[in-house]
Structure 1
C-alpha cells in the first residue's frame, strides 16, 4: 500500500484512471488498491475526493464496457486463445461463466468485489451474449457501488493509512497461520466425518 501511495503521488489522477481502466477489461492490475490510495491522498488534502471517485467510476465503467465488446466480438475462442496471457485459464473461465450463468446480471455487480472475477466480468458477459442494455445498467451500478465503497474507505483512512498498513503487515503472519490452522481443522473434521459415515453406493 505504501508503494502504491508513492505511485499515485507521482502519476496523479491519470495514474488512477489508467490502472482502474485496464484492470476492468481484463489486465491484472491493482485497481482496488489504487482507488484506496488515491482516496487516502484526498483525505490528506493532496487530491479532490470527488475527482478521484469520478475518474475511477468512469474508468471502471468504461473498462468493463470495452471488455464486454471484446468478449462479444471475439467470443469464447478468443478468451481461450489469449486468456492465459492475463491469467484467464480455461478452468478459471469455466468458473466465471458458471457464476454468470447461475446469477445473471446480478453477477456483474457481485463480481466487482471479487478478485479474479472483477477483471473478466465484462469480457465474460459479452462472450455469453448478455444483452448490452442489461449489462450496461448493472455495470454502471456495480462501478458506482465499488468505487463508492473503496473511495470512502480510503478517504476516511486518510492520515492513518500508514499506521493501518504497518499494523496489517505486522499481524499478517499471525492471520495467515490462523487461517491455515482453521482450514486444516475443517478438512480434518470433514475427513473424519466421511470415515464415520461413508457414502453408500
Structure 2
C-alpha cells in the first residue's frame, strides 16, 4: 500500500472510499477486503504519521460503508421489478425472508457487518425482504459505526507497536495470508465434497 499512497498522494482517500463503497454497495465486489483495508490503512496512519491521517480515514471509511449499504438496500428494494428475480424467488420464500427480517433484522444488520462476504449481501436481502427503511438505517448506522471505529482503532493501536513498525512488511504479508485461509478451506471442502458425491 505504501507505494500506492506515495503515488496517489491526497487521492488515496478517494481511492479508499471507492474500494469500501464498492465492497459494501455492489454485490459483485463482495470479494474486496474492506475489513483488512480499514485495519491496514489505520496501521499505516500510525506508522507514517503525515502520509495518512486517521482523523480523515475514519470519516472516509464511515461514509463509504454507510452510503454503500444504503445503495445496496435500494437495489434490493427494487429487485422485485426484475422478471428473473420473480422467477428465482417464490412468493413463499420472500414472505419467509420478510418474517425473518421483521423479527431479527436489526441484529442481522449490525452483527452481519463483521462477517466478510455476508455483509455485502445483508443490505441487498434486507431491501428485497421489505425491511422498514428507517429501522434498517438506524441499525445500519450502528453497525457501520462499530465496524469502522473498531477496525480503525485496532489498526492504529497495532501500528504504534515498535516491533510492528520495524517489521511491517513481513507482518502485512503474514496477516494477508491468514485472511485467505478461511476461503481456501471452504474451497477445499467444497472440492472434496463434490468429488465424494457419486455421479449417476
Distance 1:146 1:79 in 2: 33
Is the 8 Å Cα contact of residues 79 and 85 (structure 2) preserved in structure 1? Answer: no
Is the 8 Å Cα contact of residues 8 and 37 (structure 1) preserved in structure 2? Answer: no
Structure 2 unaligned spans of 5+: 190-200
Q: Work out whether 1:64 is the aligned partner of 2:69.
A: yes
Which residue of structure 1 aligns with residue 171 of structure 2? Answer: 164
Which residue of structure 1 aligns with residue 121 of structure 2? Answer: 120
- Shift of the alpha carbon at 1:76? 8.3
Q: Work out whether 1:23 is the aligned partner of 2:23.
A: yes
TM-score by length of 2: 0.67
Q: 1:60 to 1:168 in 2, by over 3 A?
A: closer
5 Å-filtered alignment, 1:128-147, equals: 128-147=129-148
Q: Work out whether 1:34 is the aligned partner of 2:37.
A: yes
- Shift of the alpha carbon at 1:117? 1.1
- Shift of the alpha carbon at 1:149? 1.2
Q: 1:129 to 1:158 in 2, by over 3 A?
A: same
Distance 2:44 2:83 in 1: 39
Range with bigger deviation, 40-49 or 128-137: 40-49
Q: 1:56 to 1:169 in 2, by over 3 A?
A: closer
Q: 1:169 to 1:113 in 2, by over 3 A?
A: closer
Structure 1 unaligned spans of 5+: 82-88, 184-201
Distance 1:153 1:21 in 2: 21
Task: Tell me the C-alpha RMSD between the 2 structures.
Answer: 3.2
